[in-house]
Amino acid sequence: MASLRDLPVDEFIDALSVPCCYISQDGTVLLWNTHAEVLFGWERDEVLHQPLPVVRQLDHALETWSPLLLQYPFSTTAMTPFQHKDGSVIYATAYLQSFSLEGIYGYFLAFLPKGFGPLISTEQFNLLHHFQEMIKQSTHYLATNAKGEIVDINPSLCRLLDATEQQLIGREWFELIHDSSEQDGISRNVLKSLATNRIWNGEMPISCKQHESEPCWLNLTVVPIVSEKNEVIQYTAFGFDVSEKKRLEKEVQFLAYQNELTGLYNKKGFLRRYDSILRQIDEREGLLHIALFDIDRFKIINESFGSRVGNELLIQIKERALHLIPESALLFHPTGGLFGVMFFEESKEEVFQVLRHLQHELQRPFRIYHHSIMVSISIGCVFYPSSTSSLEELYTRAESALFKGKQIGVGTIQFVTKDMDAAFSRQIHIEKAMYRALEEKHFYLEYQPKYELATDRLIGFEALLRWHHDELGQIPPSEFIPLAEEMALIVPINNWVILEATKQLKAWKAEFDQPLSMAINISPNQFRSDSFLNTLRNIKQQLQLDPADIILEITESLVMQQTDEIIERMEQIKRLNYRLSIDDFGTGFSSLQYLKSFPVDELKIDKVFLDDWMASKSHLLDVIVHLGKSLNLHVVAEGVEDEEMLAHLKSTDCDSFQGYLYARPASPSAIEQLLRSLKNSPDA
């Protein structure tokens, strides 16, 4: 058998029981064995010096193989379709090896067709062994008996393991896996895959003596050898060293997963590295706290002192924080002025003490170059076990607690409370349900009538989105719209709203023959979306409605951004003849100066100004009405709930109003009833 190696190459590959061939770099067949003839139907003479016929897109395949084989001397493809001479498809695993033969550099290919494993005979097994002999030359090789005890191992693997063949024979193969806690899991995985796929390929960490702490990584292919009775006789594994590739990968990962400045895990790195931490905590019935702490107004520090100072501040914060947290805790650095600490095992009280101390210490002055800088720190903290199931969710909750605290004031420590916890669970529930709600058409519209102040005449409606959820009941738009906005679901939802509301308006105008308008709320993301103008154009064309009857309500905060795109978009909308209204006017600090230059038609005064008038009879409301009128805008007051308010509005120049006093948002059928009664009443 040993003499096999001494055979001329073409005789050698014929002796292999495996279909195989040797091709040059450009895909020309140089050797083709008899098993390949049988498997693919092509005789040797037909294929020699021709392009390899069994691979459908040979050029493409060669392009894939060549960089692969430059990197690794040996490579396998998963079950791949190859072509038989008669046109049928043959699935096989291909083993590729770069090879230099008589000065010609090329590829050696062996094919293990589907079902090859169980079909193998003892004789074939012996021959396959020769194939392995060859593989033994250049790669690591190992064979075990059915029980997993090593029966054969090649010198290069012995060298890698720094042990002699005698020391290794008889040992269980999985003892070679680095990190004994991984041995069970990995070997179970391999066996499971072998039972179904008959082949396993993957990267395996092997303990090697060179460096105790770091494993050596082998790309391993394991094939079971099966008897005629379909019993596994042996497992053979061959592989090559990919440690260097692994090391590079790790380095690249580290760059993507660490904060460049402090070297701490960033958010991505933290979430990835501790992905399975909750499971471990559950198993140990342990505790976990995640705190996020933020340098309040870090951006301003950066802008006023420059980023050199800002960066130095972050480094000093890291140094200080590392001294203040327990040794077992982990400091990470998601981004900018935001840091995080993960505490293991400490009780809530202990964590609170640490955080208070941390906050106190970080608020002492920092000496940076010739500046003395003091910062205030806000902290949000979340505790596990809670109703979360993932680390990412937990992180998000800590983040929300932090923001919630910041709303109360800077320099706070905010724990996620039971209420917040419940709110989060609800939020997640709602988010999941929203996709279905859109598909299954669970959204519907209500319409709130709008009246002219001078005459009390009904002049139009505002369309308001509603969602009834089977379990959660009615979900208010103020709750689900911000979520939809975050999830980018707002665009399809709102496109549906526009279409539905405009169709409704057209139907009512036709039936009741009255001048009526329809106000539709447009979310900022929808306003900015590429499809928005098209939707408006389509509606204009298809429905043959006058766009002047449609009022698009946009928020003051959107207008305030006054970027060129937004102004341009407003102008495009005006060119289509739609009307534009600024909703919740007065809550967003618009500068009066630029209101003048915007192409808007209407101001909708927020209810807070009506409430304010009711409470203190202040002039603010009158001033805003006056302002709107002086800019020649239509002015609407919303949220009129009582007679006294209405009477006062009538004394101003305000044009129209909306409110529970006259009508709440109502279903289309209720609105139809209202329209019918108005038509029939004598003073209509």
Rule CB under 6 A: which residues touch ligand C2E? Answer: 448, 464-465, 476-478, 481, 494, 497, 521, 523, 583-584, 638-641, 658-660, 665
> CB 622 → Ca ion: shortest distance, Å?
19
639 binds, among ligand C2E, Ca ion, none (CB under 5 to 8 A by kind): ligand C2E
> CB 567 → ligand C2E: shortest distance, Å?
20
381 binds, among ligand C2E, Ca ion, none (CB under 5 to 8 A by kind): none
Q: Is 94 exposed, middle or buried (0-12, 13-18, 19+ CB in 10 A)?
A: buried
528 Rama class: left (phi>0) / alpha (psi -120 to 50) / beta: alpha
Which residues are within 8 A (CB) of 621 and not within 5 positions of it... i.e. 6 or more apart?
605, 609, 610, 612, 613, 637, 648, 652
> CB 638 → ligand C2E: shortest distance, Å?
6
Restricting to residues 171-210, name those near Ca ion by CB under 5 A. none
Question: Are 583 and 639 spatial neighbours (Cβ–Cβ below 8 Å)?
Answer: no
Question: Are 291 and 355 spatial neighbours (Cβ–Cβ below 8 Å)?
Answer: yes
- Does 37 contact Ca ion by CB under 5 A? no
Q: Are strands 89-101 and 74-76 parallel, antiparallel or unpaired?
A: antiparallel
- Does 584 contact Ca ion by CB under 5 A? yes
CA dist., res. 644 & res. 537, Å (int): 43
Determine the interface stretch with Ca ion among 41-49, 217-225, 301-309, 513-521 (rule: CB under 5 A). 513-521
CA dist., res. 14 & res. 20, Å (int): 8
Residue with tokens 């997993």: 148
Residue closer to Ca ion by CB (options 380, 628) is 628
> CB 547 → ligand C2E: shortest distance, Å?
18
- Does 583 contact Ca ion by CB under 5 A? yes
CA dist., res. 476 & res. 438, Å (int): 16
- Provide Rg for the chain, Cα atoms: 37
628 binds, among ligand C2E, Ca ion, none (CB under 5 to 8 A by kind): none
Residue with tokens 């038989």: 84
- Does 294 contact Ca ion by CB under 5 A? no
Q: How many residues at the interface with Ca ion, by CB under 5 A?
A: 4
- Does 602 contact Ca ion by CB under 5 A? no
Residue with tokens 């805003």: 624
Residue 678 phi, psi (nearest 5):
-65, -40
> CB 266 → Ca ion: shortest distance, Å?
39
> CB 259 → Ca ion: shortest distance, Å?
41
CA dist., res. 20 & res. 32, Å (int): 6
Distance of CA 665 to the CA centre of its chain: 37
> CB 522 → Ca ion: shortest distance, Å?
9
346 binds, among ligand C2E, Ca ion, none (CB under 5 to 8 A by kind): none
549 binds, among ligand C2E, Ca ion, none (CB under 5 to 8 A by kind): none
Residue closer to Ca ion by CB (options 220, 605) is 605
Residue closer to ligand C2E by CB (options 335, 667) is 667
- Does 553 contact Ca ion by CB under 5 A? yes
497 binds, among ligand C2E, Ca ion, none (CB under 5 to 8 A by kind): ligand C2E
Q: Is 500 helix (H, G, I), strand (E, B) or coil?
A: helix
Restricting to residues 516-545, name those near Ca ion by CB under 5 A. 521
Determine the interface stretch with Ca ion among 76-84, 166-174, 317-325, 550-558 (rule: CB under 5 A). 550-558
641 binds, among Ca ion, ligand C2E, none (CB under 5 to 8 A by kind): ligand C2E
Q: Dihedral of the CA atoms 167, 169, 171, 175 (nearest 10)? A: 80
- Identify the sign of the CA torsion 100, 102, 104, 109: negative
Residue 108 forms beta bridges with which residues? Answer: 22, 97
> CB 459 → ligand C2E: shortest distance, Å?
15
Q: Summarize as ranges the residues that interact with Ca ion (CB under 5 A).
A: 521, 553, 583-584
